[in-house]
């Protein structure tokens, strides 16, 4: 089980944010 705040979780959020909000590339979490 992956706990919140782990590098993997952060990476997943990063990828999801880029996919959902390509216009807001300045936001690592995707807003």
Output phi, psi for 10, to 5 deg.
-65, -40
Residue 1 is predicted with a pLDDT of 60
* pTM for the structure as a whole: 0.38
Number of separate helices (H) and strands (E) present in the chain: 1, 0
Query: pLDDT of 1-31, one tens digit each?
Result: 656 668 888 888 888 776 665 555 566 665 4
Round to whole Å and give the CA distance between 31 and 27: 6
Exposed e or buried b per residue across 1-31, where buried means at least 16 C-beta atoms within 10 angstroms of its C-beta: eeeeeeeeeeeeeeeebeeeeeeeeeeeebe
């Amino acid at each position: 089980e992956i706990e919140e705040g782990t590098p993997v979780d952060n990476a997943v959020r990063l990828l999801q944010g880029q996919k959902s909000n390509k216009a807001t590339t300045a936001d690592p979490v995707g807003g």
